[in-house]
């Protein structure tokens, strides 16, 4: 299988590239700069020649502006546009290519568990409606932008990823320095649910989806045991052998990080991997402490 990947140099893209090679698949990077041998150039703001997709079996779209930053109106527009425009570009080219030669057969597009917004203790599956807030709106438009591909007959999967546990990137990396110093603690009340997934399972789920024709539409990429923030903090402290006695009050989060802090740290989403579980995916790491210890070794 030949798999074309946007965002191939990022945390998930580089890990997926390694995972594909391990099972004998051929990853091909979509790049914005001058392409090297074996790469394909694209520009998210310009139409992509469908001929560039003619010999690939799958298209994986992971590119998009990082959401970490001060959420000014301009910043939020850039985040939204980077996801919607890029997805529209790839979905349109994929649809044209599929109609011409039947490739690519699957379009796996990143999305986020932020789709569900702040939902308290409610159990959330792929059938749950979208929530409120900036991230929920971004995810809603992001997923809608894949319509051209699905309407052409391509199997489209929108991967709603939770907090990825990876020591070299994602949400975990900036948490490690203060926790290693023993300065970590619960955020706000600590009662908000964080839906997490080990990096190994994020990549495992992507590979499983590429190989499993029964999966389509939204798929939650989260572990089977979401936890409250207070439990997450205790587990991280235990994995690092450090105390977690310094709470970060809600008012401090809002004062320092504004809307971003409120949506990323204080929002509660108890998301379950209903479709992955029903399809038979076997998680490498089902429990948080085990996943943290494995990643931090």
> What is the domain class of 2-296 according to CATH?
alpha beta
3-state class of 217 per DSSP?
strand
pLDDT tens sequence across 26-64 = 999 999 999 999 899 999 989 999 999 999 999 999 999
Stretch 222-246: mean pLDDT, rounded?
A: 97
Global pTM exceeds 0.85: yes
Strands (E) across 62-178 are located at 106-112, 123-124, 155-161, 163-165
| Alpha helices (H) in 111-249, listed in sequence order | 134-144, 147-151, 176-180, 199-211, 229-240
Domain ranges of the chain: 2-296
Angle between helices 11-22 and 199-211 (to 10 degrees): 60
How far, rounded to the nearest angstrom, does the alpha carbon of residue 51 sit from its chain's CA centroid?
Answer: 28
CA 222 vs CA 70, 112, 203: distances in Å: 26, 10, 11
Stretch 275-289: mean pLDDT, rounded?
A: 98
Rounded Cα distance between 238 and 32, Å, is 42
Rounded Cα distance between 133 and 86, Å, is 22
pLDDT the model gives residue 296:
94
């Amino acid at each position: 299988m030949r798999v074309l990947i946007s965002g191939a140099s990022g945390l998930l893209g580089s890990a997926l590239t390694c995972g594909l090679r391990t099972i004998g698949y051929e990853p091909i990077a979509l790049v914005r700069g001058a392409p090297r041998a074996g790469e394909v150039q694209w520009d998210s703001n310009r139409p992509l020649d469908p001929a560039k997709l003619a010999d690939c079996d799958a298209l994986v779209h992971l590119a998009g502006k990082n959401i970490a930053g001060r959420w000014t109106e301009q910043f939020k527009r850039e985040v939204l546009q980077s996801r919607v425009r890029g997805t529209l570009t790839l979905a349109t080219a994929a649809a044209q290519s599929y109609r011409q030669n039947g490739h690519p057969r699957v379009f796996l597009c990143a999305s986020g568990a932020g789709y569900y917004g702040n939902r308290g203790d409610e159990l959330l599956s792929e059938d749950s409606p979208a929530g409120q807030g900036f991230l929920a709106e971004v995810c809603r438009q992001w997923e809608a932008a894949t319509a051209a591909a699905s309407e052409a007959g391509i199997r489209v999967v929108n991967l709603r990823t939770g907090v990825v546990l990876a020591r070299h990137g994602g949400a975990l990396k900036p948490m490690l320095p203060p926790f290693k110093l023993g300065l970590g603690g619960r955020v706000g009340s600590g009662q908000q649910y964080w839906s997490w997934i080990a990096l190994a399972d994020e990549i495992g789920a992507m590979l499983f989806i590429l190989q499993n024709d029964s999966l389509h539409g939204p798929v939650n990429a989260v572990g089977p045991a979401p936890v409250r923030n207070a439990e997450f903090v205790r587990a991280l402290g235990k994995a690092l052998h450090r105390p977690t006695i310094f709470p970060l009050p809600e008012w401090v989060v809002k004062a320092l990080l504004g809307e971003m802090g409120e949506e990323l740290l204080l929002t509660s989403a108890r998301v379950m991997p209903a479709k992955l579980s029903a399809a038979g995916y076997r998680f490498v790491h089902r429990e948080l402490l085990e996943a943290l210890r494995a990643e931090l070794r």
